[in-house]
Structure 1
Amino acid sequence: MSETTEAANATNAVTGTGASGLAALEARLQQDLAWLELPAKSWVPPKTVNGQQVLDVAVIGGGQAGMAAAVSLLHLGINAVIYDQSPAGFEGPWATTARMETLRSPKKLTGPALGFAALTFRAWFEAQFGLAAWEALDKIPRLQWMDYLRWYRKVMALDIRNDHRIDAILPRADGVVELHIDAPAGKSVVLARRVVLATGRDGLGGAYLPPLAESLPRALWAHSSDDMDYSKLAGKRIGVIGAGASSMDSAATALESGAERVDLLIRRKELPRINKGKGAGSPGLTNGHINLPDEWKWRIRHYINVQQTPPPSGSVQRVSKFANARFLFGASIDKVEVVGDSLRITTPRGLFEIDFLIFSTGFRIDWTVRPEFAAIAPHIRNWRSRYMPPVGDEDMELSDSPDLGPAFEFQQKHPGDLPGLERVHCFCYPAALSHGTLSGDIPAISDGAQRLAQGIASLLYGEDVDTHYKNIQAYAEPELIGDEWTPSEPTEQERRGASR
């Protein structure tokens, strides 16, 4: 028996499983935090503007990235409030638009646990179901991951304001960012020293759609990220454009919902087989990407983009087990015509008649679909302004990516045009070119959250260094009272020696 198995058995023997096991795990987590004196005491000087209290940090987005960021800030003594547009317990895509059966990441990854063993999914799972169930588990069920994140929110006692939509983000020259918020209680304005955008895969835009979608009736198509009732596809002929994981998830969901036929229209001659992004993962890249020369940052990210990520084996098999699913390779889209209530798709492989089309074409940065960013979008410096790639290595996703500072902060395209823009931090997927994949995906989300929090702590301290210096000067708690010692007199010989 391995040391890991012995330790796990010992833990199960002590804590049990089920509700009692989870209660014991929560007690252990609180003890760990207490032993580490976490969270740290608040040290950021209170700030008001025209009588209105200013938050230390406002985090927009209450999914795994936003929660990890908030916990990291709180542990450094920085107060953080999270705003999320979704109802409580439905933050992020897991229980809404995601359609995979299981996560794509290996179960062993620790995700947003921030170095705390008792905060990992594994600890949460084993506390309820035991070691044998963990060892039998292949990958984490998607909805179970959402249950874990709900527990994470509870045990870390996070201040998440649900059903709060951000209407506008307005950096100001007086050291604050103004947030216009629409919530069930009405509209309000919140001020914060710093704002963190933890807004996910489509964090600075939305779904990418090829131009041909614009000419099609909206009732005949959807993007794979749309919140859609797939039961309406029962009995219909469905086309899915794309060959990534989300394509397989959408195709499988349509098939499971009773679609008559699903055709996967795949531009490539075959599916990619190797996940180059997985091969790139290491603590070296996690910590070293930010310090690489621009040409290496671009080269690595562009190579991974071009190679593309293959869909998980289980996701492909989920589709291929249906006899009415077809994988049509080399089927790039030449033309789509509307014929009555259906679509006729022309490809090099032939003509296909379908009733509904699903674009599984990914995401892109598109400020025009995010009105809350209207004030900041024109002023954000992107990589197109920073770096010109070699001919043949052009990449729209990378060129559109924001050129971020060391704390994930936006930088001004023309310094001075929008003072305060650097108070908004981009902790979502488009940060990947500047920082590596630390701001959304499970593998390195803790590393990214801690880098973000440490950077913000440094910036906040620097802003108020004069106040902190005065506090140092005013600090008057004595270490010594004065009665801890008795003054001694030199000997006669010592006094004579001093007078020579």
Structure 2
Amino acid sequence: MSDLSAHPDNLAALEERLRQDLSWLELPAKSWVPARDVDGQPVVDVVVIGGGMAGLVASGMLKRLGVANHLVLDKAAAGQEGPWVTFARMRTLRSPKQLTGPAMGLPALTFRAYYEARFGREAWVALDRAPRRIWMDYLIWYRKVLDLPVRNGVSVDNILPRADGMLDIACSEGGAKKTIVARHVVLATGRDGLGGPFVPAIAGSMDRKYWAHTADEIDFAALRGKRVGVIGAGASAMDNAASALEAGAARLDMFVRRKTLPAINKFTGIGSQGVVHGFAGLPDEWKWRFLSYAMSQQTPPPRPSVLRVSAFEQAHLHLESPIDALRQEGDHIVVTTPRGSYPVDFLIFGTGFKIDLANRPELASFEPHIRLWRDRFPTPAGMENVELEGSPDLGDAFEFLERVPGSCPALSKIHCFNFPATLSHGKLTGDIPAISEGADRLVRGIVRSLFVEDRETHFANLQAFDTPELIGDEWAADDAEALSELSSQRN
């Protein structure tokens, strides 16, 4: 992490301003959800799984709307949540620096406010994009100033439906097993939250020590003087290629199926509040049409990432070079494409992620019941897309829906606040730009569900409320009739 003491007084002043802003807005709202317990164990209203950016803003919004009894669980150590200081290998974020991201509409909570407090206005003006590690520092600060209830070092092993309509969350923490009873669960589990890294089957015959996926831990120092191959040319592929070159790789071969690298990020071109708030209202065929087209065009790698690779003369880009075969020869792999064969000492798959619910053991009890888009909508001819077909069909609050109505009611208590929600809700969960709007939609839906479910308690509280507004001395003393009637009303 970066030095947090650059401008400590300015950061302290920013935190004071944030406290004042929250006070003026009467935030966070008072806690209002009735407490519950099961067999003497307190019930947690909402458990958020994942303490990265999406999990933090979901927690911030829950706290903001008065759902104080919630937890955020993350298996990573504090400060290691999400990809930013683990498998993300870009120098800077790919998003423009001015995007407000998880700030929830609070100016003092934006990355810009944080960066200027630490480094000054001139440094902000000179900045191109947010440095990746300073972005992580910002998220750590965000968690601290909002006092979010994150518990690190906790792995979620299983989620199970209960007969009373709630959920059991089986966890491991420090070698001990524990079960948390929750009313709602939010899966803020990132790009691979409903599956995992995608590696083509052709890799299966290769010794695992000779290859990795971009999401894996990679010892780049060990690649010094080696021949390295990278399959794919997306952002992560470029960043991993650059990391290998900067570590001293002797040669880098990048294999790409396309004739040219994609140059235009289509969704960036239509980014607007209309897309953020309107996409979910599109008819099914239009949702599919938008995303099928955008995905077929592909997202280009950021220009700085490409320049970072092309700056090395030992880097070689092979276009129109799909992988025909991989074979292991002694201590290296031979990559065969229509354009030739290339020996590499280590191969990195920049082949993205896949949706595969069967790959998520914590969802094993629910997987057979989860409705997918292939169950909802017939794929249009010429627009076949495995990722879209396997995307979950989600409700208004990102909740899973049942494939067969009535087969698993507890699904409505599990909310998919990660990248595979895109087809149902648009890009509100996997990227920085609209993450606050996504969290607002998520939490308002959870709040509605909690209130409706507890309606009897809230009605009883309404009936029991007896704090008087008028106490009998508001009218002139000579109007005895008015006083008498007021007294009778109070009694």
Once the two structures are TM-superposed, the CA of residue 483 in structure 1 deviates from its matched residue by: 0.8
Tell me the TM-score normalized by structure 2: 0.95
SS in 1 for 2:228: strand
Provide the residue aligned with 1:9 in structure 2.
none
- 1:27 matched to 2:16? The reply is yes
Aligned mate of 2:43, from 27, 38, 54: 54
Q: Is residue 241–residue 361 contact of structure 1 (8 Å, CA) maintained in 2? A: yes
The secondary structure found in structure 2 opposite 1:336 is strand
Q: Distance between the aligned counterparts of 1:250 and 1:403, measured in 2?
A: 33
Separation of aligned partners in 2, 1:430 and 1:144: 27
1:62 aligned partner, one-letter code: G
Correspondent of 1:285 among 275, 279, 291: 275
Q: Distance in 1 between matches of 2:59 and 2:148?
A: 8
How many residue pairs were aligned? 475
**Per-residue CA distance 1:442-475 (angstroms, 9 max, x = gap):** 0000000011010100011110111111111111
Q: Does residue 1:209 correspond to 2:209, yes or no?
A: no
Asked if residue 235 in structure 1 is aligned to residue 225 in structure 2, the reply is yes
Residue 176 of structure 1: CA displacement? 1.0
Distance 1:287 1:226 in 2: 35
Q: Are 1:271 and 2:261 counterparts?
A: yes
Equivalent residue number for residue 63 of structure 1: 52
Measure, in 2, the Cα distance between the counterparts of 1:244 and 1:187: 40
Q: Separation in 2 of the partners of 1:76 and 1:489?
A: 46
Change (3 A) 1:350 1:17: closer
> Any conservation in 2 of the 1:172–1:419 contact (CA below 8 Å)?
no
**Residue 215 of structure 1, CA deviation:** 1.6
Kindly indicate whether the alpha-carbon contact (under 8 Å) linking 1:242 and 1:361 is maintained by their aligned counterparts in 2.
yes
Matching residue's letter, 1:19 = P
- Give the Cα separation in 1 of the matches to 2:284 and 2:162: 31
Which residue does the alignment assign to 2:484?
none
Q: Which residue of the partner structure matches residue 72 of structure 1?
A: 61
**C-alpha distance after superposition, 1:130-164 (max 9, x if no partner):** 11000000011000100000000100001111000
Which residues in structure 2 correspond to 1:152-301 (within 5 Å)? Answer: 152-184=142-174, 186-301=176-291
Q: What SS is found at the alignment partner of 1:483?
A: coil
Corresponding residue number in structure 2 for 1:381: 371
Partner amino acid, structure 2, of 1:28 = R
TM-score, L = length of structure 1:
0.93
- Cα separation, 2, equivalents of 1:63 and 1:316: 27
Stretch deviating more after TM superposition (170-179 or 323-332): 170-179
Question: Which digits, 9 at most, give the CA deviation of each residue in 1:289-340, with x for residues without a partner?
Answer: 1111000111111111111000000000000000000011011111111111
Amino acid at match of 1:452: L
Post-superposition shift, 1:129?
Answer: 1.1
Name the SS for the 1:343 alignment partner: strand
Structure 2 residue 350 is matched with structure 1 residue 360: yes
Deviation at 1:418, TM superposition (A): 2.0
- In the TM superposition, residue 488 of structure 1 has moved relative to its aligned partner by 4.0
Q: 1:478 aligns with which of 468, 474, 480?
A: 468
Please list every run of 5 or more consecutive structure 2 residues that lacks an aligned counterpart in the other structure.
482-491
Separation of aligned partners in 1, 2:155 and 2:106: 31
Q: Residue 213 of structure 2 contacts residue 349 of structure 2 at CA under 8 Å; is this kept in 1?
A: yes
Moved over 3 A (4+): 487-490
Question: Could you tell me the percent identity over the aligned residues?
Answer: 56
Which moves more between the two structures, 319-328 or 343-352?
Answer: 343-352
Q: Is the 8 A contact 1:83 1:165 kept in 2?
A: yes
1:171–1:423: 8 Å Cα contact kept in structure 2? Answer: no
Contact 2:30 2:66 in 1 (8 A): yes
Match of 2:100 in 1: 110
Cα RMSD (Å) of the superposition?
A: 1.3
Provide structure 1 residue ranges, at least 5 long, that are not aligned to the other structure: 1-15, 491-500
